[in-house]
């Protein structure tokens, strides 16, 4: 979720580093920084342009490291911005990932006299390398020793003032790629900032440590044994490189679903106790405990996430919930008082209507919370407290992974609120255990994406589509229809299955297919009845279910099976096949799924 770029060579490093950071801004950021051994370190909060304004020229040097930060440990401040240094301020590092045992390492280093200036786990790693440097007097050996003490994930690059042309990169769970040039070498989080310099790259694997100078590179494992890694030639352009192996950002982002859920729940789920630990709500936890109702505000996909949360919270917390479209909220006279929570759900944190809804809530004395994906955004600043998604930047206009993350964050919020208000330990453990299993179940769905591709190809000439669901999957029917509309520009409607007899059945014939969301849950039999109504009118039916039986196969033209989970979490699994369906449907029609016509990623005006 962060951006790393590093250079060692024959050119002046500063413009190359700044260009690399600019190229990485699509990944998202809340702060930026660079270190050049001959000139020192510069950091800033916000965009690369803010960093450029802080730089005092000249800033000479032929090597350096640079970083765009997406906060995980510590707020977005200059103190928390990367690079971070050891105690001597001669070793500096940039780092993506999470050092899971940073607390134990920090406690040990404090006993050795280390002083810490940030609240990041990265500074702990930097200080640890410096600690070993005092003993070993060798840069490479010290980095290896520190990494062997480290548990967690990292994509890391280190620079040493006394060996300015040498940089050391390492990978464990976070991507790192090396670019091989003529008398110069590069390191980055992905190939996009490297491609303007060279197309010859090496992808590090977990456990790799690479030592680079302008004319050489050597790769070791953590046991200091030299290993070979294949050099690859990148054939695509910079824009395509950002998509990795995928043809479109939308598919890439759908395929990141398991990772997104892992990032959203990381450090927040305590399964043994059946609780969610939401650090962003700590400061207002007691206020939340006294509130009597929640108003959830969102636009588009975020609004549908709120509709799912309404079922979650009312069933498991016992608080009344209202869900409002942000663009309508201010034009009513919503009843808000000091017993109310107004919760904004937004990917960008800049959606104008949602922002104004938060401001209206504040004016009327409500506690305002946010579920936001963009660190440092306006809504994240203006709400009293909140939860960051940590889903990473979403480039495709049609929201996919952000929606999955929003649903996951709302499930965590439900667990948090429920355990505050009487939810039993056993129920809490059950929910927590099922949340923990979601990434693996998402992988199982994605492994079968070709099945959805075949179904989408079969129906790609359709001009109309109906999506129907009930209860927890009521909103998923709307979201499935929205995805198809956004990507394919066809008429698609979402409906509550129980509403079929109140109008929508009039549309059904052999040319008007239905995508029915029918998990084996508390409304399974009701959904079966609705499918029979459609079949009686010669409508074709695609069934999405977790129940593979003869009855449901007999009444479906096509079927896709998802893994089972508890009812409240079923929307997180059920939306993924619908996202894939919209993607493949649009591809069959030759459309640009990443940039649908007339739509923008972040709606910052009314």
pLDDT at 239: 56
**Annotated catalytic residue within 2, 23, 114, 487:** 2
pLDDT at 74: 65
Give the position of tokens 């996430």: 305
Structure tokens at 94: 């940039």
Active site residue 106: no
Confidence tier at 604 by pLDDT (50, 70, 90): very low
More confident of the two residues 504 and 166:
166
Of the candidates 257, 262, 74, 4, the one whose C-alpha atom is nearest the C-alpha of residue 152 is 262
pLDDT at 601: 45
More confident of the two residues 527 and 382:
382
The span from the CA of 584 to the CA of 246, in Å, is 13
Mean pLDDT (the chain) is 89
Supply the DSSP string of 364-425, one letter for each residue. Answer: TT-EEEEEESSTT-HHHHHSSEEEE-------SSS-SHHHHHHHHHHHHHHHHHHHHTT--H
Confidence tier at 327 by pLDDT (50, 70, 90): confident
Q: Are 488 and 516 in contact (CB under 8 A)?
A: no
Domains of the chain listed by start with CATH number: 3-241 (3.60.20.10), 252-443 (3.40.50.10490), 448-588 (3.40.50.10490)
**Cβ-count burial of 77 within 10 angstroms (0-12 exposed, 13-18 middle, 19+ buried)?**
middle
Structure tokens at 559: 């079927």
Spatial strand order of the sheet with 84-85 comes to 84-85, 91-96, 154-160, 163-172, 209-212, 217-220, 226-227
> What is the 3-class SS of 324-341, one letter each residue?
EEHHHHCCCCCCCCCCEE
Residues 368-384 pLDDT 10s: 999 998 765 678 878 99
- Given a cut of 50, whether residue 97 has pLDDT beyond it is yes
Provide the CA 111 distance to its chain's centre, in angstroms.
36
Confidence tier at 76 by pLDDT (50, 70, 90): confident
pLDDT at 353: 86
Burial 333-358 (b: 16+ CB within 10 A, else e): ebebeeebbbbbbbbbbbbbbbbbbb
User: What are the two backbone dihedrals, phi and then psi, of residue 559, each rounded to the nearest 5 degrees?
Assistant: -145, 145
More confident of the two residues 604 and 37:
37
Provide the CA 195 distance to its chain's centre, in angstroms.
25
pLDDT at 554: 84
- Given a cut of 90, whether residue 594 has pLDDT beyond it is no
**Annotated catalytic residue within 141, 362, 437, 601:** 601
Residues 419-432 pLDDT 10s: 999 899 999 999 99
Of the candidates 499, 571, 575, the one whose C-alpha atom is nearest the C-alpha of residue 311 is 571
Active site residue 601: yes
More confident of the two residues 352 and 102:
102
Other C-beta atoms within 10 Å of 34: how many?
31
pLDDT at 605: 36
Of the candidates 394, 350, 301, 404, the one whose C-alpha atom is nearest the C-alpha of residue 1 is 394
Of the candidates 178, 92, 106, the one whose C-alpha atom is nearest the C-alpha of residue 139 is 92
More confident of the two residues 350 and 404:
404
Residues 346-362 pLDDT 10s: 987 878 789 889 989 99
The span from the CA of 543 to the CA of 553, in Å, is 8
Of the candidates 95, 89, 246, the one whose C-alpha atom is nearest the C-alpha of residue 158 is 95
Confidence tier at 240 by pLDDT (50, 70, 90): very low
The span from the CA of 1 to the CA of 24, in Å, is 10
pLDDT at 296: 97
The span from the CA of 10 to the CA of 501, in Å, is 73
Confidence tier at 602 by pLDDT (50, 70, 90): very low
**Cβ-count burial of 446 within 10 angstroms (0-12 exposed, 13-18 middle, 19+ buried)?**
middle
Residue 75 DSSP label = -
Average pLDDT over residues 189-214: 89
């Amino acid at each position: 979720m962060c951006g790393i770029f590093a250079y060692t060579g024959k050119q002046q490093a500063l413009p190359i580093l700044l260009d690399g950071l600019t190229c990485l801004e699509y990944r998202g950021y809340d702060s930026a920084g660079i270190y050049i051994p001959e000139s020192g370190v510069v950091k800033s909060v916000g965009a690369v342009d803010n960093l450029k304004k802080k730089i005092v020229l000249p800033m000479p040097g032929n090597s350096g490291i640079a970083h765009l930060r997406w906060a995980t440990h510590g707020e977005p401040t200059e103190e928390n911005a990367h690079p971070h240094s050891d105690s001597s301020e001669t070793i500096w590092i940039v780092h993506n990932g999470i050092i899971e045992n940073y607390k134990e390492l920090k406690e040990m280093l404090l006993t050795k006299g280390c002083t810490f200036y940030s609240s990041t786990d990265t500074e702990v790693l930097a200080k640890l390398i410096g600690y070993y440097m005092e003993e070993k007097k060798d840069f490479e050996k010290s980095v290896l020793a520190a990494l062997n003490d480290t548990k967690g994930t990292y994509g890391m690059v280190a620079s040493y003032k006394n060996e300015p042309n040498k940089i050391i990169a390492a990978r464990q769970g976070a991507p790192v790629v090396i670019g091989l040039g003529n008398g110069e070498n590069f390191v980055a989080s992905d190939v996009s900032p490297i491609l303007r310099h060279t197309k010859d790259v090496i992808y590090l694997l977990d456990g790799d440590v690479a030592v680079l100078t302008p004319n050489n590179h050597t790769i070791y494992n953590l046991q200091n044994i030299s290993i070979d890694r294949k050099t690859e030639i990148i054939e695509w352009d910079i824009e395509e490189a950002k998509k990795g192996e995928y043809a479109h950002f939308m598919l890439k982002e759908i395929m990141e679903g398991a990772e997104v859920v892992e990032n959203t729940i990381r450090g927040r789920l305590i399964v043994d106790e059946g609780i969610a630990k939401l650090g962003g709500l700590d400061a207002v936890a007691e206020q939340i405990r006294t509130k009597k109702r929640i108003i959830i505000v969102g636009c588009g996909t975020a609004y549908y996430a709120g509709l799912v949360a309404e079922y979650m919270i009312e069933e498991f917390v016992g608080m009344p919930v209202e869900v409002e479209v942000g663009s309508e909220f201010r034009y009513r006279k919503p009843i808000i008082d000091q017993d109310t929570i107004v919760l904004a759900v937004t990917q960008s944190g800049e959606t104008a209507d949602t922002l104004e809804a938060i401001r209206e809530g504040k004016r009327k004395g409500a506690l305002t919370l946010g579920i936001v994906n963009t660190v440092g955004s306006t809504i994240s600043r203006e709400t009293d407290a909140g939860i960051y998604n940590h889903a990473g930047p979403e480039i495709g206009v049609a929201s996919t992974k952000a929606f999955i993350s929003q649903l996951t964050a709302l499930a965590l919020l439900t667990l948090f609120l429920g355990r505050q208000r009487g939810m039993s330990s056993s129920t809490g453990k059950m929910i927590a255990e099922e949340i923990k299993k979601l990434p693996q179940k998402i992988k199982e769905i994605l492994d079968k994406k070709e099945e959805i591709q075949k179904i989408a190809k079969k129906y790609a000439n359709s001009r109309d589509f109906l999506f129907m669901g009930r209860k927890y999957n009521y909103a998923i029917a709307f979201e499935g229809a929205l995805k198809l509309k956004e990507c394919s520009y066809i008429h698609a409607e979402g409906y509550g299955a129980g509403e079929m007899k109140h109008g929508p059945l009039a549309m059904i014939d052999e040319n008007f297919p239905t995508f029915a969301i029918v998990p084996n849950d508390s409304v399974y039999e009701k959904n079966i009845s609705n499918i029979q109504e459609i079949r009686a009118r010669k409508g074709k039916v695609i069934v999405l279910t977790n129940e593979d039986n003869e009855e449901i196969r007999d009444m479906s033209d096509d079927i896709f099976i998802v893994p089972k989970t508890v009812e409240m979490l079923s929307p997180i699994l059920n939306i993924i096949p619908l996202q894939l369906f919209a993607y493949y449907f649009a591809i069959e029609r030759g459309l640009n799924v990443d940039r649908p016509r007339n739509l923008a990623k972040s709606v910052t005006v009314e």
